[in-house]
């Protein structure tokens, strides 16, 4: 991953003006859900808040305050069903009272045990008035990793417009009611709100997804929405919640997600390219392959480098190193990963002793496709390659270094068949270790659960980077029950 082209601080000095400090100015805070299903959104939020705060500090403006709380369980005070340490009501109250925050921007999957009494208590908390302070507001960003990576695919494959397939209980409806009467809004990445709650929903500016439009009953090729809600919060905090060209999300890839959509509100659009470049660089930092392998305790280790791509895309973008197209960036990043894997193998073969070489078996798997959304015939190539290592090489652990793509979906969202991958290792008792570099994707939670169930691990970020430190999900094989 190349270093950022320009420093954020330089962009600030060249483009950003200052706002006069205001006594009792409304304070803005982010409440970050650190539940395992949030995935890469946890380190992204932590890093992005720091970068934005660098700008705000340079401008002489109040910095964004950050609190973290695991989950979104909600009960009344002294609830017996929701213990105090797990009750988000107390975290929200403390944010308002101890940190003197006036607007809470809650980034959360909204999963947890919620009661009617809890919602009533939260509504009352939002109604509290404090002398000399602006009214309290709650902005809920209902988002999590799998929603980003699987949501659009699930929507496009449905025969009619459905409730969020990753949120079958339709939890947000109760949250819509909570923020009625001007107390806040709910932001979702791609799923529309129930008609009766549209006033509490923060639409993006524009929708161009023809599948969603057809199923939603929209005429034409484009739909635009009222984003007046952004003006209210800009006037309140001088922070922007949408980019001027931002549209409804239609796909996921790490560069496109960071550059094209907004997670943490920002002070100045002119500085976002430099900030986004630095954020992508920081998010893509990781240990080398050899550093990963040094963490694995195995008598005989199978190392599988697996990369998939569409041949036409490779031919089109491989020579265009300056492309900004999301497909082109995925291809170029994949080329870099292939080059890295080959260099690692070359160095190992030249420097490792015969004894060390006997302890490792390397395999390279390229899945070359003619169409992006059609899987190749036969069993999943990654699962097949892993099964070969287990059966023919008798390895007791497998390290899978991959861009996650095997056809049948979008670049950036893993399409590896987890059921077949599980079959390849489970009975043999083989441990699975996974590294999916952030720039080409992020390890899906079910795949991480599979690795943990095998006794292995999905490696995150770079060793020593505390931003990637959060709880692992529950270890679970794919056939032990569907992920909620």
Arithmetic mean of pLDDT, 253-276: 92
Q: Is the pLDDT of residue 25 over 70?
A: yes
For position 12, what pLDDT does the model report? 37
Which helix (DSSP H) or strand (DSSP E) does residue 314 occupy?
Answer: helix 311-317
Distance CA 442, CA 162 (A): 26
| Residue of higher predicted confidence among 12 and 231 | 231
* Most confident of the ranges 160-169, 195-204, 313-322: 313-322
Round the average pLDDT of the chain to a whole number and report it: 88
Arithmetic mean of pLDDT, 94-122: 95
- In percent, the amount of the chain with pLDDT more than 70 equals 86
Q: Is the pLDDT of residue 307 over 70?
A: yes
For position 14, what pLDDT does the model report? 37
For position 1, what pLDDT does the model report? 46
| From 149-153, 192-196, 360-364, the region with the lowest mean pLDDT | 149-153
Confidence of residue 297 (pLDDT cuts 50, 70, 90): very high
pLDDT tens-digit map of 68-80: 999 999 999 988 8
Instruction: Say if CB 281 and CB 3 are below 8 A apart.
Output: yes
pLDDT tens-digit map of 424-446: 999 999 999 999 999 998 999 99
For position 154, what pLDDT does the model report? 59
Please give the structure tokens belonging to residue 309. Answer: 């791509």
For position 80, what pLDDT does the model report? 81
Q: Is the pLDDT of residue 81 over 90?
A: no
For position 203, what pLDDT does the model report? 78
Distance CA 233, CA 26 (A): 10
Arithmetic mean of pLDDT, 257-281: 94
Sheet holding 103-108, edge to edge: 65-69, 28-33, 103-108, 137-142, 184-188
CB atoms within 10 A of CB 36: 18
| From 98-112, 217-231, 294-308, 419-433, the region with the lowest mean pLDDT | 217-231
For position 4, what pLDDT does the model report? 45
For position 277, what pLDDT does the model report? 95
Question: How far, in Å, are 3, 75, 146, 214, 302 from residue 432 at the CA level?
Answer: 31, 39, 21, 42, 10
- In percent, the amount of the chain with pLDDT more than 90 equals 68
Range list of β-strands (E), 70-176: 103-108, 137-142
| From 230-234, 309-313, 371-375, the region with the lowest mean pLDDT | 371-375
DSSP per position, 330-356:
HHHHHHHHHHHHHHHHHHHHHHS-HHH
For position 256, what pLDDT does the model report? 85
Confidence of residue 52 (pLDDT cuts 50, 70, 90): very high
Residue 14 contacts by C-beta under 8 Å, 6 or more apart in sequence? Answer: none
Distance CA 247, CA 257 (A): 11
| From 147-151, 318-322, 459-463, the region with the lowest mean pLDDT | 147-151
Which residues pair with residue 141 across a beta bridge?
A: 107, 187
For position 146, what pLDDT does the model report? 87
Provide the pairing of β-strand 103-108 with 28-33: parallel
| From 2-11, 244-253, 382-391, the region with the lowest mean pLDDT | 2-11
DSSP per position, 161-199:
--S-TT-TT-THHHHHHHTTTTTEEEEESSPPPPGGGGG
Instruction: Say if CB 458 and CB 448 are below 8 A apart.
Output: yes
Instruction: Say if CB 368 and CB 338 are below 8 A apart.
Output: no
DSSP per position, 215-284:
HTT--SS-EE---HHHHHHHHHHS-BSS-TT--------HHHHHHHS-SS-BS-GGGHHHHHHHHHHHHT
* Most confident of the ranges 335-349, 370-384, 407-421: 335-349
For position 394, what pLDDT does the model report? 97
pLDDT tens-digit map of 170-227: 567 889 999 999 999 999 876 667 778 888 888 777 777 776 677 666 677 787 778 8
For position 269, what pLDDT does the model report? 93
| From 167-176, 365-374, 378-387, 419-428, the region with the lowest mean pLDDT | 167-176
For position 412, what pLDDT does the model report? 87
For position 166, what pLDDT does the model report? 58
| From 156-160, 168-172, 299-303, the region with the lowest mean pLDDT | 156-160
For position 220, what pLDDT does the model report? 78
The three-state secondary structure class of 111 is: coil
């Amino acid at each position: 991953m190349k270093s950022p082209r320009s420093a954020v601080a330089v962009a600030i000095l060249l483009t950003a003006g200052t706002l006069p400090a205001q006594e009792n100015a409304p304070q803005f805070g982010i409440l970050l859900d650190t539940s395992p299903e949030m995935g890469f959104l946890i380190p992204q939020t932590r890093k992005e808040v720091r970068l934005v705060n660098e700008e705000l500090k340079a401008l002489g403006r109040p910095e964004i305050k950050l609190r973290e709380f695991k989950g979104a369980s909600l009960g009344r005070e002294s609830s017996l069903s929701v213990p105090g340490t797990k009750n988000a009501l107390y975290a929200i109250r403390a944010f308002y009272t101890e940190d003197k925050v006036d607007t809470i921007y809650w980034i959360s999957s909204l999963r947890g045990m919620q009661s009617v009494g809890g919602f009533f208590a939260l509504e009352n908390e939002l109604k509290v008035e404090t002398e000399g302070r602006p009214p309290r507001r709650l902005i809920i960003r209902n988002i999590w990793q799998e929603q980003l990576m699987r949501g659009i695919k699930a929507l496009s494959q449905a025969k009619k417009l459905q409730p969020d397939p990753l949120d079958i209980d339709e939890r947000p409806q109760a949250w819509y009611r909570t923020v009625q009467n001007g107390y806040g809004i709910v932001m979702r990445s791609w799923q529309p709100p129930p008609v009766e709650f549209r006033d509490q929903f923060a639409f993006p500016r524009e929708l161009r997804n023809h599948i969603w439009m057809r199923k939603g009953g929209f005429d034409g090729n484009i739909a635009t929405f009222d984003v007046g809600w952004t003006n209210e919060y800009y006037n309140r905090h001088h922070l922007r919640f949408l980019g001027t060209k931002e549209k409804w999300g239609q796909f996921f890839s790490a560069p496109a997600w960071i550059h094209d959509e907004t997670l943490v509100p920002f002070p100045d659009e002119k500085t976002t390219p430099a900030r986004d470049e630095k954020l992508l660089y920081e998010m893509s930092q990781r240990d080398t392959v050899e550093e990963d392998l040094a963490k694995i305790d195995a008598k005989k280790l199978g190392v599988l480098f697996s990369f998939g791509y569409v041949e036409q895309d490779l031919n089109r973008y491989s020579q265009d190193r300056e492309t900004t197209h999301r497909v082109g960036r995925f291809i170029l990043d994949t080329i870099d990963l292939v080059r890295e894997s080959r260099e690692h193998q070359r160095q190992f073969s030249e420097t490792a002793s015969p004894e060390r070489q006997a302890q490792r078996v390397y395999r390279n798997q390229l899945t070359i496709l003619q169409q992006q959304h059609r899987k190749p015939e036969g069993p999943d190539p990654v699962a097949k390659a892993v099964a070969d290592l287990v059966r023919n090489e008798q390895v007791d652990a497998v390290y899978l270094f991959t861009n996650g793509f095997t056809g049948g979906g979008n670049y950036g969202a893993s399409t590896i068949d987890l059921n077949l991958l599980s079959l390849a290792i489970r009975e043999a008792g083989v441990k699975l270790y996974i590294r999916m570099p952030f720039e080409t994707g992020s390890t899906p939670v079910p795949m991480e659960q599979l690795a943990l169930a095998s006794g292995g691990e999905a490696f995150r970020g770079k060793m020593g980077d505390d931003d990637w430190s959060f709880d692992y999900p529950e270890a679970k094989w794919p056939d032990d029950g569907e992920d909620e």
